[in-house]
Amino acid sequence: MPRAVCWWLYFGLGILLAGQAEAPSPVEPPERSRPYAVLRGQNL
């Protein structure tokens, strides 16, 4: 049982971190975020 709880904890943490990485930061200037968007489009 504790193993399942740990798994869900890590899983939720991973989703949370992935969500933060995906969300564009409003403080970042568009010049900095633009190349990342281009690279992400090429990777798709």
d(CA 32, CA 11): 30
43, pLDDT greater than 80: no
pLDDT digit string (tens) for 8-41?
Answer: 888 888 887 777 655 565 565 555 555 555 555 6
4, pLDDT greater than 80: yes
Length of the chain: 44
Q: Comparing C-alpha atoms, which of 2, 3, 21 is closest to residue 13?
A: 21
At 6, is the pLDDT very low, low, confident or very high (cuts 50, 70, 90)? Answer: confident
pLDDT at position 16 is 76
